[in-house]
Every structure is written in C-alpha cells, then in structure tokens.
Chains A and B, each alone.
Chain A
C-alpha cells in the first residue's frame, strides 16, 4: 500500500492526494495526519484536486481528520475540489459541514494565514 506523503510547510501540514484512494490508504492518511498534528502544527491542508470521486467514506475520513486536527492543530482546509465532485456531493446530500474549503493550494495557505511569498521563501 502506498501511503500519501505529507509535507510540512512551516507549521502547516500538506497532503496532496494524487493517487487512487483505497479505503486503507485513506485510513492511513487519517492516522498519519493525526499523529503529525499531535507532534505540533497550526493547520492542515488536504489537496483533493486529483480526486475524481468522493463518497461518504472519504467524506467521513476528511471530517474526522478535521475534527481531530481542530483539537490538536487548528483548522483543516480541503482544497481544489472538482466541480463534478462538488455537484455529486450536493446531490447525494453530503455538505461536509464544518470543513473549510479553498479553491486552490495558495488560497488554502492564505486562509491559514500563510501568504504565497512565505512558502516560496522556504522552498
């Protein structure tokens, strides 16, 4: 099983999902993010621009990551949802209440109070 890599950008954790998500990989991501958040972070960004299906299982995983992160590390921002995924979630009746969303990675960083300049400065 390939785990999803988690990057640390200063005090923000970034996971970018670029691969097919099996349930096991999603659960491993939840575990890894929660552990890293507990070790110290101010926010979490999950980039789902590469995800073509979000079902209620993945929705639950995302909500649980956000709930745990809120206790340990502050806000979680889900970035880059595709239009087809957003429409499907709404038709299904899943509104992901309580999750912050952002159009893009850079919007997510500004939402967490980190400008683009700052990441560029660090990379």
Chain B
C-alpha cells in the first residue's frame, strides 16, 4: 500500500526508529521472558542477544522486505533462534508457549514506533512494524516445524533400530529375523546393525531370516543381495533362510539371480549348515 504521509515507506520509517531507539528497545526486550529465561547467566548476555535481534530486524526493514521470511538478513538470527528454541524446549516450554513469548516482543516495539513517529508516518510505520514481527513469528514457526520433523525422524530411526534384533544362535553364529516390509531405509539399518554385530561378536556366519517378510520382489531381492555382499566383504558367510516355496517360485519367475548367496528353507536348516561350517573349521585347525 502507498504511504499517505511523508511519502516514505513504512519499512523505511521503522528502520529509522529501530536504529535510533536500538538501546531502549534492546533493554526492554532483555527483560521479557523470551530472553530472560534463556540467558540466565546474566542480563548482559540477554541484552547482547536482544541487540542482535534489533539490528537484524533493522536490516530487514532497511531492505524494505518486511514480509519476506527468506531475506538473507534473517539467516543471521536463525541459528540463535534455533538454540533459544532448543534451550526453551529442554526447559519444558511448548511450541505455542514459545510463539507467545516471541509475540510479546511486539508490544514494546509498537509503543516505541507509535511514540517516535509523527502523525503522518505513524500509521504506515505501525503497519510495517506489525508485518515485521509477523515475519519473525513465521521464521520461528518454520524452525519449530523443522525441529519437529527432526524429532519424528529420530524416533522413526530408533524404531527401526529396535525392530532389528540380532540374535546370537551359537558361538560365532548370529541371526537377524526380518519382519515386515523391507525398504531402503530399513535395509540400511539392517546392514549397519548386522555388520556391527559381526565385528562385536566375531561372527563367522550371519543368517538373514526372511520368514516374516511378506513379499520378495526384485527390489527386496536387491536389498538382500547387497546385505549378503557386505557380510561377505567383512569376511563372514551370509545365509538367507526362511525362503518359503512361494517365495522361491517368485524369485525364479522374476528371473532374480541370487548369485552365489547361500539359501536355506528354514532358520534351523541355516543353523545346521552354520554349525557344519564351524565344525569343519575346528577340524582344519588341528
């Protein structure tokens, strides 16, 4: 919208106010919960952080893009905001509570803007200041959302890890029963967990039991091959067990070549084979 008053934009007059009243605003902000609760070590740190925020917002206003959350000037405070959010979250502060604390910054700013500006600039200045604080809130919400995703992702990862148990069947023989669908993320976790277990337990044979895998198509076969190849590179033998007749048929029909990977119908068959191997190894040592 066009400014009615002095002909200067609202953003420009807000920028001037922020520059002129930098100290006053920073002092007032430093006393608000957002800063006070995070910078418990002392008021100086809170004032410094508040200065940083005032300066950043002044830069954004000087650049005239008060409604743009992507202006590079805002990138300066994103890491600090993220840290603040982390600290508040750890202290038990919820997302709505945090957004409310950010919203509280608006009152002192509006008061200063209203007081500083002449009648002709006041209206456009207040509008621009409100827009600027709205933008800050959007940036905060964006960071909160991203962190939420990170948390969900971490939980998903942990779930994958706990759903991949490694069982020690015998001295140097381990097995991982795969249950449910195998996708790329799951395969990565299975591979990592299995290979780490080979190291930890000095395993000579690793059995991948797919009894609980409902479907084996080319993609899943590919995952199984990769895992088996990685096991072999580590110097252990890999056996895939739990190949039901139906799965064997699918594998043949799809023309999947499992190469030289050993397969057994049941986990018991695979273990029998593994023990035979171990036996042969003991015999050769003597």
Please list the residues of chain A having a beta carbon within 8 angstroms of any beta carbon in chain B: 78-81, 83, 85-87, 89-91, 95-96, 101-104, 107-108, 110, 113, 115
Contacts and interface: CB of A to CB of B under 8 A. Distances in A.
Given A103-B198, A107-B235, A86 B204 contact: no
Given A95-B229, A95-B233, A103-B204, 20 more contacts: A81-B233, A81-B234, A83-B198, A86-B230, A86-B234, A87-B188, A87-B195, A89-B230, A89-B233, A90-B191, A90-B226, A90-B233, A96-B233, A101-B233, A103-B198, A103-B236, A104-B235, A110-B281, A110-B285, A113-B284
Contacts of B281: 110
B177 to A, nearest CB: 20
Interface of B is mostly: helix
A104 B202 CA distance: 8
Given A86-B230, A90-B226, A101 B191 contact: no
Interface residues of B, number: 22
Contacts of B196: 83
A90 B234 contact: no
Contacts of A91: 226
B284 A81 contact: no
B232 interface: yes
A87 B195 CA distance: 9
